[in-house]
Amino acid sequence: MVLGFVTASLVLVILLFTMCNATIPANFVFGDSLVDVGNNNYIVTLSRANYAPNGIDFGSPTGRFTNGRTIVDIVCRELGNKNPPPPYLAPTTRGSVILRGVNYASGGGGILNSTGKLFGGRINLDEQLDNFGVTRGEIIAHVGEMEAAKLLEKALFSVTIGSNDLINNYFTPVVSSFERKLVPPPVFVDAMISRLRSQLTRLYEMGGRKIVVTNVGPVGCIPFEREVDLTAGVDRCAAQPNLMARMYNLRLRSLVEELNSNLRGATFVYADVFHIVYDILENYASYGFASERTPCCGIAAGKVGGLIPCGPSSTICTDRSKYVFWDPYHPSDSANLIIARRLLSGSSDDVFPFNIRQLVDL
């Protein structure tokens, strides 16, 4: 459960988008619960969303960690394709279907392989890349090496990951403050960036050329963190997780620039989901929301009702369009719509050096 808005990162993202345009033949999505469309349905894990009331506005629970659509779903539709990439582990994701793209994201997954272990099963980024390697081999078997290389060169790749490395690793409540002192934030962020550099380079070596990397959103502002962080009040986000997210995001932007300089023919895009989500939270009323801290689906306990995950026994808000958060960790369909549209058409403050529509037109 990624937690948070993370965003994306949102690496939401998010931008996963774009297989949805005729100029983008396929879209390959990597990430966590912000963009998982059902892979966790097929593994033994506590991080699962294939039960009501999740998906209440999607038609049925599918494994999406929201009431309706993920950012991927929204961007694909806005670019003209109603069918986002299917989950890699679904039995039907076989044959020619994979030529249009595949979603490898997994709720609870992270950059570091130790991330999310409290959930049991999860598919971290290294294993997601392994799975893409299998898909790549199947694509070659379908169309041959030359055509496969052309498809991957034009395809869009998105990586929305990193939130769990903070929320379900470094800031997990079971980790003591003493343990955190042994690994200061800069050291932990260094480990994340170092690992991600290797992972993104590996993706490039397997044929990825258009790669959108989403940063980590303001995870200190999710309802769960407002509950468990003693420094956070009802009206305040948890400071330390947000400071660490900002630290990571600065390093991530530098990494994107580094990879653009060093990997010939690659175009990496930095999606600033932190900036977008923080703006929504600071100005929620102007976006039409009534609440920026209380989840729509939850149980009325604690400061903001963010202690217990959304489930069949949860209370659901009357008007889901008025809530930024669907559950203690994830944005609602309405919030995802705003994020997706800003990634599609936003300025360089939101997505750099190109927004999604510009990237599609390259």
**Which tens digits make up the pLDDT trace of 131-149?**
999 999 999 999 999 999 9
Has residue 16 got a pLDDT over 70? no
Tokens of 7: 């965003």
In the sheet that 267-271 helps form, which strands lie side by side, from edge to edge?
Answer: 101-103, 27-31, 156-160, 210-214, 267-271, 351-352
Of the candidates 327, 332, 333, 350, the residue annotated as catalytic is: 327
Whats the size of the chain, residue-wise? Answer: 362
Residue 142 appears among annotated catalytic residues: no
> Is 327 in the active site?
yes
Q: Provide the pLDDT confidence category of residue 362 given band limits of 50, 70 and 90.
A: confident
pLDDT tier at 159, thresholds 50, 70, 90? very high
5 belongs to a structural domain: no
* pLDDT 10s digits, 35-61: 999 999 999 999 999 999 999 999 999
Cα(169)–Cα(45) distance, integer angstroms: 16
Residue 4 lies in a domain: no
Query: What is the overall mean pLDDT for the chain?
Result: 91
Residue 254 lies in a domain: yes
Q: Tell me what the mean pLDDT of segment 185-191 comes to.
A: 97
The answer to whether residue 23 scores a pLDDT higher than 60 is no
**Is 212 inside any structural domain?**
yes
Residues 324/223, Cβ–Cβ less than 8 Å: no
As separate numbers, helices (DSSP H) first and strands (DSSP E) second, the chain gives 11, 8
pLDDT above 60: residue 345: yes
**Among residues 272, 275, 330, 350, which one is catalytic?**
330
State how many domains the chain has.
1
Query: In the prediction, which pLDDT does 73 show?
Result: 86
Residue 275 annotated among the catalytic residues of the structure: no
Whichever domain contains 232, its CATH number is 3.40.50.1110
Choose the weakest-confidence range: 174-188, 244-258, 270-284.
174-188
- Rounded distance, CA 1 to CA 249, Å? 20
- Residue 6 included in any domain: no
Residue 1 included in any domain: no
Beta bridge partners of 270: 213, 352
Rounded to 10°, the helix 125-143/185-205 angle is: 10
Q: Indicate whether 251 pLDDT > 90.
A: yes
Percent of the chain with pLDDT over 70: 92
pLDDT above 70 for 235: yes
- Decide if 75 contacts 39 (C-beta within 8 A): no
pLDDT digits (tens, 9 = 90+) for 272-328: 999 999 999 999 999 999 999 999 998 887 888 898 999 999 999 999 999 999 999
b/e for 11-21, b at 16 or more Cβ within 10 A? bbbbbbbbbbb
Q: What is the pTM of this model?
A: 0.92
Distance (Å, whole) CA 258 – CA 254? 6
Instruction: Give the per-residue pLDDT at 116.
Output: 95
Report yes or no on 213 lying in a domain.
Answer: yes
Domain of 47 in residue numbering reads as: 15-361
Among the options 9, 32, 33, 106, which is catalytic? 33
| 178 — pLDDT class (breaks 50, 70, 90) | low
Within a domain: 9: no
